A = this chain, B = another copy of it.
Amino acid sequence: MVKHLDEKTDALPDHVGWRLWQASRAWQTEFAAAMRAAGHGWFTEARAGLLGHITRGGMRQSALIERSAISKQAIQQLLDGLEADGIVERLPDPQDGRGKLVRYTRKGLDALRDGDRVKIEIERRYIGRLGAERFTALMGALRALAAGQPAARDDKAGAEDQIVESN
C-alpha cells in the first residue's frame, strides 16, 4: 500500500498509519463538535483523555495517575482546570490524609451522559456509511491490532490511553 511516487507527484498518501490517523482525527473532530453543540464548550481533547480514566463513582488522584500515560504534574494541571470549570471536584480522602478523591460534579456527569449519546450517534452514522458488515470488520481488525500490542511498550504512551471512554 505504501507506494513509491516519483519526484513531483502531489498525490495524498495511502498507508495504514495515515489512514488510521485520518479516521481517528475525523472521529475526534466530530465528537468535539457535537460536545460543543451540546453546550460543553469547556471540552478539549486533553481533558477528554483524562476524563476517560475517571470512573463514574470517582477515584483517587493517585489511581488516576497510574492509569494515565502522562506525568502526575500534567494531570494535576488538567484537574485544576476541570475543577475551575466545575466539571470535577477534589475532596480529601478520609482513608489517607495524603490522598485526594476526584469526583464528577453534576455538570460533569451531564457531560458524560451527553458524551455517551454522541458516541452512539456517531457510531450509527458510521454503520450507515459503511454497512453493518464492513463496520464489524473494521472493529474486529482494530481490536485484533490492539490485542497484538503488549498494552504498554517501553514507550510511555502505550495502548492504555483513550479519548473519552465510558466506564
Contact = CB atoms under 8 A, between A and B. Distances in A.
Interface of A: 1-5, 7-29, 31, 33, 52, 55-57, 116, 119-120, 122-123, 126, 129-130, 134-135, 137-146, 148-149, 153, 155, 157-167
Contact of A24 (B3, B12, B20, B55): B20
B139 A1 contact: yes
Given A7-B55, A167-B10, A161 B27 contact: no
Contact of A21 (B2, B10, B162): B162
Contacts of A11: 167
The copy count of this chain in the complex is 2
Given A20-B24, A22-B159, 11 more contacts: A2-B123, A8-B57, A12-B160, A13-B164, A18-B52, A20-B142, A21-B161, A21-B163, A26-B159, A137-B141, A138-B142
A162 B24 contact: no
3 nearest CB pairs, A to B: A13-B165, A138-B141, A19-B142
A148 B129 contact: yes
